[in-house]
Chains A and B, each alone.
Chain A
Amino acid sequence: MTVASPTDFEPQGLQPQGWLKYFSFSLDHKVIGLQYLITGFIFYFIGGALAGVIRMELTSPISDFVSRETYNEVLTLHGTVMIFLWIVPVVNGAFGNYLIPFYVGARDMAFPRLNAVAFWLIPPAGILLIASYFIAGGAAQSGWTAYPPLSLTTPAIGQVIWILSVLLLGGSSIFGGINFIATILKLRRPGLKLMQLPMYCWAMLGTSILVVLSTPVLAGTLILLSFDIIAHTGFFNPALGGNVVVYQHLFWFYSHPAVYIMVLPAFGLVSEILPVHARKPLFGYTTMVYSILAIVVLGLIVWAHHMFTSGTPPWMRLFFTIATSFIAVPTGIKFFNWLATLWGGKLALNSAMLFSCGFIVNFVFGGITGVALAQVPFDIHVHDTYFVVGHFHYIVYGGTVFVIFASVYHWYPKFTGRLLNEDLGRLHFLLTFIGFNLCFTPQHWLGLNGMPRRVAEYDPSFTTLNQVSSVGALLMAISTLPFLINVIWSAYSGQIAGDNPWNALTPEWLTASPPPVENWLGEAPLVTHPYDYGVPEGKIDLRVVSGADLWLGGKR
């Protein structure tokens, strides 16, 4: 039993209380989760400002806003900050740390000290990365992929700092992953079976398996790359007999799973939010679980679809096309399960629900372009064009970032004890949804017509669509204002939420808001059916009924 008396843990009395604890080496998973969240949002605004510079530069076909070198640095920093310092830490570290111990019925993570170490690796790594912009030679210029030989010919110091920063963040991610796996598998409250866990646990388990299996490969690869830069070895340097394609293979062995590391937790979070606000059971729990596991397995064997133009042999193209297309099956199952969860439900169209629905719309569009990109002939046509940029942002912004916002609206009452303002929230959603689609839809046209990505100058015929895209980016920037005002104002003057404002059944709502230090004052509750909304008692076992039964159940 994981029930412990207060003395069993770190003496919290020695740790700072009040706001100071968020700047301390706190071992409380909730404090660490919020540390991740706030740090992530700071880097989101930095990365967003960098995106603003990119879109500003691209409003005109000539390079006039910043120098070309600065443009390269800005786009490298934008990609690296957004992926490694915003999405991965927030969607894994922030919500994972806050929610997973609740969901497994534990009082903290399996390794609280390792958890704090994992968080405190992030601010130094982020500061290191941003600071490299201001040193002589500037930041790395080779994009977030750091492909050699480009990364070997651009200024060395910035690239080495970039590698160091990514290694620190990778280490943080691996420590987090180990912690999540151990917590979910080993710290479950007695009596709680794996197939009774809320879906976010499964998503985090799958994600953490991907983190543990793939991140070390990136770390090893970047160490070899740093040898190439510092010691002038020739692993990836064709001039010295090396092989650049090996770098690409190793890099994408991490960086394709990285897409699932960014989006699987979002799948989990949205699976928590939809049933609560639709007052329906999560449809197809078992298929959801197996879909996640299938995505984990398939996600590890599809990396070379990023390399169809890198001289990959035909058999490899065939294999990776088929494997990639297969991912659409488990993803499609999840997509239809979410739709079925909404079907016939009593939807509360609040901000959390709106952002979740926005996610479903954006994600299915990004998924369709993803299946298209898996086909070799099409991929060769649009490779390295803005089509890829559009597709990627539909998955990672339209998918994951929308879910992050939905999650903030959903769990903010738990974090603070106060509700966010719904009017500002709906305005935020409207501006974000319109701005996002205005920004990234035109990029598909641009890519199909041949506009290459990562360029500061382009053919004048692309000007109008680029300007539309930049207007969308401006709207997205504006959309953060109501959000910022909302979270700051509501923290002090928001409506008091109470312990369970959504009448939710998952365990984090069955305690005070904000929760006490060890999560429950008494014993941890045993929640074996976290999604039993609107189901007559004892009538429906979620694991055995057919879909039609559930739909009827929801309509009653």
Chain B
Amino acid sequence: MTSLAPGSPNPAGAPLTASAAESPQAAPAHHAGDDHGGHVDARLFGLATFLVADGMTFAGFFAAYLTFRSVNPLPAGSNYELELILPTINTALLVISSVTFHRAGSNLRSGNRSACRSWLLGTVVLGLAFLAGQMVEYFNLPFGLTDNLFASTFYALTGFHGLHVTLGVICILIVWWQARQGGRISQQEHFGLEAAELYWHFVDGIWVVLYGILYLL
């Protein structure tokens, strides 16, 4: 507690502040994990905040889709029965890819870098298989982008998600490359991998919701 009479001169700093040494919670200057330029490492926290924002974009799309569905009747003859087998396989692929990515991370943390790289490549293959499945589905759909409201929303939702998967695959490839070089991804330094993993789980989770409301509902 400090005091200052109204209008009294206030020599900068001195009487107003307690030095860190007096503070019971003053931490040592360099504690574990604080190796990023004296900064607290807030990068994963920042990424998580960004993913909340990204999730809100999807939430807006989902809300729009559900509202369109409930209040805008489609023109006659456009109530499609969507093929379910391929999207279900695709869902399984993405869920499995989350597991493989997790395996890659735990292998890295236990120091097994070559196994980590293999699991990463496996995740990439699963992601690419998902994208290929999506392409096959697109080419076999009975409607195009501008046919009607459902068609437009379908392509917007799956396309926006597909963009995320594509970016994710690129990120995993970068992480895989860095793990091969060993400089930026190692047992001690694995922010890149953790960031890509968080992002990948997010994209996976969004797909499960999307699959639920687009194909099952």
- Asked if A527 and B67 make an inter-chain contact with CB atoms under 8 angstroms apart, the answer reads no
A174 to B145, CA, bound (A): 30
- Asked if A534 and B6 make an inter-chain contact with CB atoms under 8 angstroms apart, the answer reads yes
Q: A509 within 8 Å of B by Cβ?
A: yes
Segment at the interface with B among A43-51, A179-187, A417-425, A484-492: A179-187
A278 to B62, CA, bound (A): 50
- Asked if B39 and A217 make an inter-chain contact with CB atoms under 8 angstroms apart, the answer reads no
Residue numbers in B under 8 Å from A181 (CB-CB) = 49
- Asked if B60 and A253 make an inter-chain contact with CB atoms under 8 angstroms apart, the answer reads yes
- Asked if B12 and A249 make an inter-chain contact with CB atoms under 8 angstroms apart, the answer reads no
| Contact A241 to B75, CB < 8 A, known contacts A191-B26, A526-B20 | yes
Q: B19 within 8 Å of A by Cβ?
A: yes
Q: Per a CB cutoff under 8 Å, which of B6, B30, B46, B60 touches A182?
A: B46
- Asked if B37 and A214 make an inter-chain contact with CB atoms under 8 angstroms apart, the answer reads no
| Contact A217 to B56, CB < 8 A, known contacts A186-B42, A227-B156 | yes
A186 to B49, CA, bound (A): 12
| Contact A505 to B149, CB < 8 A, known contacts A5-B38, A110-B39, A523-B20 | no
- Asked if A186 and B45 make an inter-chain contact with CB atoms under 8 angstroms apart, the answer reads yes
**CB proximity of A542 to chain B, nearest CB, Å:** 10
Q: B3 within 8 Å of A by Cβ?
A: yes
- Asked if A523 and B50 make an inter-chain contact with CB atoms under 8 angstroms apart, the answer reads no
- Asked if B56 and A214 make an inter-chain contact with CB atoms under 8 angstroms apart, the answer reads yes
**CB proximity of A518 to chain B, nearest CB, Å:** 10
**CB proximity of A106 to chain B, nearest CB, Å:** 9
Q: B77 within 8 Å of A by Cβ?
A: no
Q: A510 within 8 Å of B by Cβ?
A: yes
- Asked if A525 and B60 make an inter-chain contact with CB atoms under 8 angstroms apart, the answer reads no
Residue numbers in A under 8 Å from B20 (CB-CB) = 1, 3, 189-191, 523, 526
Q: B54 within 8 Å of A by Cβ?
A: yes
Give residues 65-83 of B contacting A (CB, 8 Å).
Answer: 67-68, 71-72, 74-75
Residue numbers in A under 8 Å from B4 (CB-CB) = 503, 505, 532-534
Q: Mark A478-522, 1 if CB is under 8 A from B, else 0.
A: 000000000000000000000110011100011100000000000
Residue numbers in B under 8 Å from A279 (CB-CB) = 6-7
Give residues 11-61 of B contacting A (CB, 8 Å).
Answer: 12-13, 16-20, 23-31, 34, 37-40, 42-43, 45-46, 49-50, 52-54, 56-61
Give residues 201-254 of A contacting B (CB, 8 Å).
Answer: 212-217, 219-221, 224, 227, 231-235, 240-243, 246, 249-250, 253
Q: Per a CB cutoff under 8 Å, which of A187, A190, A213 touches B53?
A: A213
A273 to B63, CA, bound (A): 42
Q: Per a CB cutoff under 8 Å, which of B71, B146, B153 touches A232?
A: B146
Q: B213 within 8 Å of A by Cβ?
A: no
Q: A536 within 8 Å of B by Cβ?
A: yes
Q: Give chain A's interface residue range (CB within 8 Å of chain B).
A: 35 or more
- Asked if B17 and A525 make an inter-chain contact with CB atoms under 8 angstroms apart, the answer reads yes
Give residues 48-71 of A contacting B (CB, 8 Å).
Answer: none
Most buried by B among A183, A233, A504: A233
- Asked if A217 and B26 make an inter-chain contact with CB atoms under 8 angstroms apart, the answer reads no
**CB proximity of A329 to chain B, nearest CB, Å:** 26
| Contact A220 to B1, CB < 8 A, known contacts A2-B40, A185-B45, A187-B39 | no
A503 to B74, CA, bound (A): 68
Q: A297 within 8 Å of B by Cβ?
A: no
Residue numbers in B under 8 Å from A528 (CB-CB) = 18
Q: Per a CB cutoff under 8 Å, which of A110, A220, A232, A526 touches B17?
A: A526
A216 to B62, CA, bound (A): 13
Q: B114 within 8 Å of A by Cβ?
A: no
- Asked if A215 and B53 make an inter-chain contact with CB atoms under 8 angstroms apart, the answer reads yes
Q: B64 within 8 Å of A by Cβ?
A: yes
A505 to B56, CA, bound (A): 39
Most buried by A among B31, B146, B160: B146
Residue numbers in B under 8 Å from A185 (CB-CB) = 45
| Contact A510 to B13, CB < 8 A, known contacts A212-B53, A213-B56, A250-B64 | yes
- Asked if B146 and A190 make an inter-chain contact with CB atoms under 8 angstroms apart, the answer reads no
- Asked if A3 and B38 make an inter-chain contact with CB atoms under 8 angstroms apart, the answer reads yes
Residue numbers in A under 8 Å from B54 (CB-CB) = 216
- Asked if B72 and A243 make an inter-chain contact with CB atoms under 8 angstroms apart, the answer reads yes
Residue numbers in A under 8 Å from B68 (CB-CB) = 235, 242-243, 246
Q: Per a CB cutoff under 8 Å, which of A186, A234, A541 touches B40?
A: A186
Question: Which of chain B's residues has its CB closest to A114's CB?
Answer: B46
Q: A549 within 8 Å of B by Cβ?
A: no
- Asked if A182 and B42 make an inter-chain contact with CB atoms under 8 angstroms apart, the answer reads yes
Q: A372 within 8 Å of B by Cβ?
A: no
A207 to B146, CA, bound (A): 38
A524 to B92, CA, bound (A): 52
Question: Which of chain B's residues has its CB closest to A224's CB?
Answer: B156
| Contact A216 to B57, CB < 8 A, known contacts A235-B152, A243-B72 | yes
- Asked if A227 and B152 make an inter-chain contact with CB atoms under 8 angstroms apart, the answer reads yes
Residue numbers in A under 8 Å from B52 (CB-CB) = 212-213
Q: A144 within 8 Å of B by Cβ?
A: no
- Asked if A243 and B1 make an inter-chain contact with CB atoms under 8 angstroms apart, the answer reads no
Q: Per a CB cutoff under 8 Å, which of A504, A511, A532 touches B2?
A: A532
- Asked if B72 and A241 make an inter-chain contact with CB atoms under 8 angstroms apart, the answer reads yes
Q: A381 within 8 Å of B by Cβ?
A: no
- Asked if B74 and A241 make an inter-chain contact with CB atoms under 8 angstroms apart, the answer reads yes
Q: B148 within 8 Å of A by Cβ?
A: yes
Residue numbers in B under 8 Å from A174 (CB-CB) = 50, 53
Residue numbers in A under 8 Å from B110 (CB-CB) = none
| Contact A249 to B39, CB < 8 A, known contacts A241-B74, A503-B10 | no
| Contact A249 to B149, CB < 8 A, known contacts A182-B49, A187-B39, A279-B7 | no
Q: Can you name 29 A-B pairs with beta carbons within 8 Å?
A: A1-B27, A1-B29, A1-B31, A1-B34, A2-B39, A4-B37, A9-B37, A181-B49, A182-B42, A185-B45, A187-B40, A212-B49, A213-B53, A216-B56, A216-B60, A220-B61, A234-B152, A235-B156, A243-B72, A279-B7, A500-B10, A503-B7, A503-B8, A503-B10, A505-B4, A526-B20, A528-B18, A534-B6, A535-B1
Q: Which 7 A-B pairs have the closest CB atoms?
A: A4-B38, A525-B17, A191-B23, A217-B60, A279-B6, A537-B3, A8-B38
User: What 20 new A-B contacts, CB under 8 Å, besides A8-B37, A8-B38, A243-B67?
Assistant: A4-B37, A178-B50, A190-B26, A191-B25, A191-B26, A224-B64, A231-B146, A241-B75, A241-B149, A510-B13, A511-B12, A523-B19, A523-B20, A525-B17, A526-B20, A528-B18, A529-B2, A534-B6, A538-B1, A541-B1
Question: A interface vs B, CB < 8 Å?
Answer: 1-5, 8-9, 110-111, 114, 174, 177-179, 181-183, 185-187, 189-191, 212-217, 219-221, 224, 227, 231-235, 240-243, 246, 249-250, 253, 279, 346, 499-500, 503-505, 509-511, 523, 525-529, 532-538, 541
